[in-house]
Amino acid sequence: MRYGRCPAAVLVMLLAAPLAARAHGVLPFGIDVLRDGEQTVGAMAAYGLLHREGGVLRWTPEEAMPGLVLWAELLEGGRVLAGTTNGVVSTDDWGCSWQPVEPLGARMVLERAVAPDAPARIYLPTADGVDDALYISADGGRSFARAWTADGTVERVAAGPGGRVFVLVVGARAVRYLFTSDDAGQTFAEVAIEGAPVAFDLVGLTADGQQPYLAWSLGGGRIGLFRLTDDGPVEVGDFAGSVVARAVEFGGFRFVLVDRTRLWRAALSGGAPAQVMGGPSFCLEAAPRGGRLWGCGQRDDGVHFFSTEDGQSWQGHLTYAEVCPQVCPDDAPATPLIAQFWEPVMATGVGGVDCNAVADASVMPDAAVDAAQIDAAPLDAIALDAARGDVGGPVVGIDQRGGDGCAVRPGTDTGTRRPRGWWTLALLAVIRAWAGRAAANRRSGNTESRA
């Protein structure tokens, strides 16, 4: 088996996955929903790309991509941009073929940001420790230019309206710095954060996109959430856990995703946060899409995604049952992989409709595939049961975003497909730490204090 450009630490984590977990095949869950205005046209899932066509969700496998999938973004004209551990790629034919996006075709980009008032402007921070920088596209992802660099790894980015951009830079000895731009990323200035430790994270923006949310450890197994104002950081939440993965304002509420297992909601007007929904590998979109806030999680509800219009009730979207294999040209790179992996994917609970019978059907509107309204209480109960191991089947874990793409290449003898399991959060943490260390090792003379 060829391992390509995977960091050695990633390979160690892959090999460390429990044998029982690796034997069960891929586990279905969503990574990013793909929206065109009010219409859901597809999604990136852990096992590949989904495209709504002919009344079903047409699937092409993740194995056609060069690495572990981290995120996906729908661009103008139906083009899909995706970040993997082995480079940024795009497809114009819904996954039948993928092409590298230069100059990022071999670079690892952990996340992306899209300007809410200028969707053609896309920000990508490279974080693989090799000449890290912020790259910007002004033409909807057709091309990217190296726009800004700092003395460290540009690890996170968040974009607001009016050219407002925030980036998190990790320097030597893991000291972190926050920078902001008011000219769409052309110039940046460091933001002084009084009272912040050397290790903090950028986890979101306020609804107007003008103030960042930061998180850092409070000690004793607690993590604090802070809104950075002109007068300094203001604590707005204190949670049991180790990581705040996302903070989003929507519908008069602040949603906070902790350890990618628990979603908390608190009114912006005040009051204690309450857990509203959770479950293994739950994710939360950085900004609303189509008037909805979107999340994902691997559950037994048979849906890839959940969303809310009012911040209080949740609805399921994109069912496992409606997935069918994509019909690609015979010479397309994905064609043999579809034949190879469709049966293992079905064995995980994906598929179930008669794909031949619906081939000529019209495209289903969102309402036709939305699951019934999902009550928060059963979701909380299932999440707690899963954490205790009381739910039947393998217990899957935290942040299953991505998979084994860096260990599998088209045309190789893969044998048993490795699933996305509980260990992927640790895997991505290792990737992030590895990137930061690689950048830090190239620099000297820095101290652990901020200038």
Domain annotation covers residue 3:
no
Domain annotation covers residue 1:
no
Say which range, 140-144, 244-248, 288-292, 402-406, has the weakest mean pLDDT.
402-406
Say which range, 162-171, 198-207, 320-329, 415-424, has the weakest mean pLDDT.
415-424
Say which range, 115-124, 139-148, 225-234, 382-391, has the weakest mean pLDDT.
382-391
* Angle (nearest 5°) at CA 71 between 317 and 381: 45
More confident residue, 283 or 236: 236
Say which range, 250-254, 307-311, 409-413, 447-451, has the weakest mean pLDDT.
409-413
Domain annotation covers residue 12:
yes
Q: What is the structure's pLDDT at 45?
A: 92
Say which range, 21-30, 128-137, 241-250, 403-412, has the weakest mean pLDDT.
403-412
Cβ(132)–Cβ(170) under 8 Å?
no
In this structure, what token pair is assigned to residue 205? 């923006």
Out of 157-161, 410-414, 429-433, the most confident range is 157-161
Give the pLDDT confidence of 252-277 residue by residue, as tens digits. 999 999 988 888 999 999 888 988 86
Domain annotation covers residue 260:
yes
CATH of the domain at 85: 2.130.10.150
Cα of 298 vs its chain's centroid, Å: 14
Say which range, 161-170, 369-378, 389-398, has the weakest mean pLDDT.
389-398
More confident residue, 267 or 314: 267
With a cut of 70, say whether residue 413 has pLDDT above it: no
Domain annotation covers residue 447:
no
Can you say whether the dihedral through the CA atoms of 329, 331, 332, 337 is positive or negative? positive
Domain annotation covers residue 451:
no
Say which range, 88-102, 283-297, 391-405, has the weakest mean pLDDT.
391-405
Domain annotation covers residue 89:
yes
With a cut of 50, say whether residue 148 has pLDDT above it: yes
Cβ(98)–Cβ(66) under 8 Å?
yes
With a cut of 90, say whether residue 222 has pLDDT above it: yes
Using CB atoms within 10 A of its CB, is residue 337 exposed (0-12), middle (13-18) or buried (19+)? Answer: buried
Domain annotation covers residue 298:
yes
Q: What is the structure's pLDDT at 172?
A: 82
DSSP strand pairing (99-100 vs 113-115): unpaired
DSSP string, 361-429: SPPPPHHHHPPPEEPHHHHHHHHHHHHHT-SSS----S---S-SGGG--TTS---SPPPP-TTHHHHHH
Q: What is the structure's pLDDT at 298?
A: 67
Q: What is the structure's pLDDT at 278?
A: 57
What residues form DSSP beta bridges with 153? 170
Helix/strand/coil for 338? helix
With a cut of 50, say whether residue 294 has pLDDT above it: yes
With a cut of 90, say whether residue 360 has pLDDT above it: no
Return the HEC string of 229-257: ECCEEEEEEEEECCCEEEEEEECCEEEEE
Q: What is the structure's pLDDT at 421?
A: 36
Q: What is the structure's pLDDT at 354?
A: 86
End-to-end CA distance of the chain: give it in Å, rounded: 47
Say which range, 223-227, 277-281, 301-305, 399-403, has the weakest mean pLDDT.
399-403
With a cut of 50, say whether residue 31 has pLDDT above it: yes
Cβ(325)–Cβ(59) under 8 Å?
yes
Say which range, 125-129, 244-248, 444-448, has the weakest mean pLDDT.
444-448
Using CB atoms within 10 A of its CB, is residue 271 exposed (0-12), middle (13-18) or buried (19+)? Answer: exposed
Q: What is the structure's pLDDT at 365?
A: 38
- Domain with 406, as residue range(s), is 8-441
Segment 231-241 mean pLDDT:
93
Q: How many domains does the chain have?
A: 1
Q: What is the structure's pLDDT at 279?
A: 59
Segment 145-156 mean pLDDT:
91
Q: What is the structure's pLDDT at 28?
A: 82
With a cut of 50, say whether residue 44 has pLDDT above it: yes
Give the pLDDT confidence of 65-108 residue by residue, as tens digits. 988 899 999 998 899 999 998 999 999 999 999 999 999 988 88
